[in-house]
Structure 1
Amino acid sequence: MGRINLLLADNPIAGFLLLTFIISLISLVLMLNVSGAHTPESSIGLPIWLIAIWSPNIAAIIIWSVKKELLLKLQTSFSFPDFSWWQCVSLLPLVIAGAILILELQRGHVIQWSNFELKFLIPLLLINLFLGPLGEELGWRGLLYPEIKTNYGWMASALIVGAIWSLWHAPLWLLDSPQSKIPFWAFSLNVVLLSMLMGIIYNHSQGSIIAIVILHLTFNVSLGIIDVLGSHQPGEFVIKSLYLYVPLVLILVGIHEVTGSHTCRIQ
């Protein structure tokens, strides 16, 4: 056990990736072989899906516990950073979803506004919070991104984490999941673009992941709202959104680099 702890402490990136993928793959095997576990909507499936979704956080907590840094890392990750306008990027998915809906209205497309009721909003937020950003970002952006950034810089690190993040999602296309309704190439490109935005936000958040969790949440919630309104199939919406995400992310990255504001201060 001591040797394993030493390995995890000395190689946090490799240890994190190994633990994350082992936990998620074990969960996948259970999803595919345990009756009713193929969906988080069942009492059997929900805990298995939660373990899979929270695998990055579980891995990060194990690594930090071994290094005796857990309390410090949790305090930093969930601290409120000094305000930066870059943190407002966390609301971009809602802006893009709204822009697409406005364009569709101008084209005369029918949107089922009556399908959405305010009473759905809190459950939508909570479900998407726990089955997504709150379970992942402590690992992806709290541990992996800053560890890689030390050697490769922010932009390369954001691209690397985005590619790994996309690969980690790939087993969902073996299941009847919401993600499986989206072409994998479009989903992956979206994930990498979001990872770039998250890298920018992290660079101005002193190690806090709160705004990153909000960005992840608003992306997931925007998909949920579009699905409820019946204006698009999830795959169709994600592909259309790329026409806005790609130029906007490139512009934001350019501004970020030109202004020379890519240093990260951690409290």
Structure 2
Amino acid sequence: MNRETKLKRPVASFILLTNIIFLPLFCLVGASSVLGFPKWIFDVILCISAWSSTFAFAILFKKIYLGQSFMQFVKDKFKNKLQFSVILIAIMIQAFIFLMILFIVSNTSEVDSIFTVSSWGMLIYYFFNHLLSGPLGEELGWRGFAQMELQKKHSPLKASIIIGFWWGMWHLPIWFTTGLVGIDLIKYILLFMIAIMSTKIVMTAFHNLNQNLIVPIIIHQFFNFFMGLINGKLVDLLMYNAIFYFVVAVLIIIINPKDVLYGKEDTNVIHAKQYMV
């Protein structure tokens, strides 16, 4: 049975509502820091703010997919069997990038420790803190919905560039909390956008190969985790990540494995048809 959406521009509505929800929550994050609240309160509020895209999508869901179940939609995003080879290759690429950046920083940095954590306990906390305040809260809305929705009308590559740009712009308030000003801030913003849009293309390719939301969650997690693990200048670390992920994205665009980014109708578009309106 054909269904018609009440929202003429569901992706635009999602992006707008995501930002509307995120901004006041992010202000609370800043207020908790300024007022000297305990670290755990800061982390909790930060985690909640990272879920703004999921909140926005949940609110809009019934207006986009009439008569469908939100929980069933979520379950469908994880129902396909994970392909070990896809996950392994993605992690190996990110591990290689991490090791290359680690090598570069270790030969140029004068700090006592090259890592930002000093114990296994802190490493575990750091890992799960990043997982909760990043990938788990962001991927359903940005990848599970917005990317899939645009792939109904555009190639995965074009959809990735569009969503990658707006996903990057969603981080705009965070840019001004880095303490950077002038040319350093401009460099940071440009490098950030290159890094995040390149990573978005990588995520789309591997996601379309496996059709399980766990894949982009893993890639997103290791991007954040590895970058934050190295003790170095923020702009330099971002520059290294931007360069390496851009190179990987270009290679994947050229190779275009199984036409996952452009060309023939890919499996992601076929799978998305059950949600078409």
Same fold (TM over 0.5): yes
Q: Bigger CA drift: 88-97 or 129-138? A: 88-97
Map of 1:100-249 to 2, 5 A cutoff? 100-105=101-106, 112=113, 116-176=118-178, 183-206=188-211, 208-227=212-231, 232-249=232-249
TM-score (norm 1): 0.81
Separation in 2 of the partners of 1:40 and 1:216? 28
1:169 Cα deviation after fit: 0.1
Verify the 8 A CA contact 1:40 1:46 in the aligned structure 2. no
Measured at CA, do residues 84 and 35 of structure 1 come closer, stay the same or move farther in structure 2, by a change above 3 Å?
closer
Please state if 1:57 is matched with 2:54.
Answer: yes
What is the SS of the residue equivalent to 1:81? Answer: coil
User: Can you give the 5+ residue segments of structure 2 that lack an aligned partner in the other structure?
Assistant: 273-277
Give a deviation string over 1:77-117, Cα, whole Å, max 9, x none.
23343517444453233320112223455679777268643
Quick one: which amino acid aligns to residue 94 of structure 1? Answer: A
- What value does the CA root-mean-square deviation take over the aligned residues? 3.1
Identity across matched positions, percent:
23
Number of equivalences: 253
Matched residue, 2:12: 14
Alpha-carbon deviation of 1:36? Answer: 3.8
Distance 2:45 2:234 in 1: 24
* Cα distance between partner residues in 2 of 1:94 and 1:63: 37
Aligned residue type for 2:128: L
- 1:3 maps to none
Decide which moves more: 49-58 or 115-124: 115-124
8 A contact 1:197–1:249 mirrored in 2 = yes
Residues 86 and 200, structure 1, Cα contact 8 Å, conserved in 2: no
Aligned partners of 2:135 and 2:221 also within 8 Å: yes
> Which TM-score applies when normalising by structure 2?
0.78
User: Structure 1: where are the runs of 5+ without partners?
Assistant: 1-5
Q: Which amino acid aligns with 1:224?
A: G
